[in-house]
């Protein structure tokens, strides 16, 4: 019998592990997989030495935020530093507390105020709404229009005093405005 010597040439290749912490907004794609929620995820593959390679992902998903508001205003509306004069849908994008997008939507309806003016002449007085004017001038009336907005109407008013008195002495009769008067007295005639 002879002694036999066996020789073992052994190479031990290590498995590898890695870990990464990631914070993202809304979604994150890692090794072909898309994640939408926070959690711990692992991926096992083969390393260069043909051993297991385990990667760990510590994932935090922060959500973006959205909001929407409906606003109806008269003439103008200021939102986030912008003044709007027409109806429309407007958006404002900023960063929320999680450092993700925050998109605010404004559904804006702009109703307009009205302005108008007119000129009137009247003898003695003029009734406008609940007010009677007896002197010439420029007057304004503020009211609410059908859209709920303040509206202003300007009245340029001329008041005339057309009354006149005629004193006449005549013999027997006097004819005035197609009427013959035969007795003394005070008579009036209205011209329309």
**For the chain, how big is the Rg over CA atoms in Å?**
47
Q: Which helix (H) or strand (E) holds 6?
A: none
pLDDT surpasses 70 at 192: no
pLDDT digits (tens, 9 = 90+) for 1-26: 678 888 888 888 889 999 999 999 99
Order across the sheet with 39-46: list the strands.
Answer: 16-25, 52-62, 39-46
Q: What's the pLDDT tens digit per position in 104-147?
A: 999 999 999 999 999 998 888 889 888 999 899 999 998 899 99
**Number of neighbouring beta carbons within 10 Å of residue 59:** 19
Over residues 93-100, mean pLDDT: 94
Residue 15 tokens read as: 């498995």
Q: How far apart, in whole angstroms, are the C-alpha atoms of residue 144 and residue 41?
A: 63
For the segment 37-52, what is each residue's pLDDT rounded down to a tens digit?
A: 999 999 999 988 889 9
Does position 67 have pLDDT exceeding 80, yes or no? yes
At 164 the pLDDT is: 64
Query: What pTM does this model have?
Result: 0.58
State the Cα–Cα distance between residues 38 and 57, nearest whole angstrom.
10
> Considering only CA atoms, which of 68, 61, 66, 67 is closest in space to residue 98?
61
Residue 32 main-chain phi, psi, to 5 deg: 80, 0
pLDDT in the model for residue 185: 86
Mean pLDDT taken over the chain: 90
> Quick check: 154 and 119 in contact, CB under 8 A?
no
């Amino acid at each position: 019998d002879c002694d036999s010597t066996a020789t073992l040439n052994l190479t031990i290749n290590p498995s590898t592990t890695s870990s990464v912490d990631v914070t993202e907004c809304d979604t994150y794609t890692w090794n072909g997989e898309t994640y939408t929620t926070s959690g711990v995820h692992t991926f096992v593959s083969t390393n260069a030495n043909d051993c297991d390679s385990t990667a760990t992902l510590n994932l935090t998903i922060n959500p973006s935020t959205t909001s929407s508001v409906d606003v109806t205003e008269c003439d103008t509306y200021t939102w986030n530093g912008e003044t709007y004069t027409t109806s429309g849908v407007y958006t404002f994008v900023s960063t929320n507390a999680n450092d993700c997008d925050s998109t605010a939507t404004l559904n804006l309806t702009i109703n307009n105020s009205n302005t108008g003016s007119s000129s009137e002449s009247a003898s003695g007085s003029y009734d406008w709404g609940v007010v009677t004017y007896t002197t010439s001038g420029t007057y304004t009336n503020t009211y609410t229009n059908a859209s709920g907005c303040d509206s202003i109407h300007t009245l340029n008013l001329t008041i005339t005093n057309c009354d006149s008195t005629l004193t006449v002495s005549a013999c027997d009769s006097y004819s005035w405005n197609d009427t013959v008067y035969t007795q003394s007295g005070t008579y009036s005639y209205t011209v329309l």
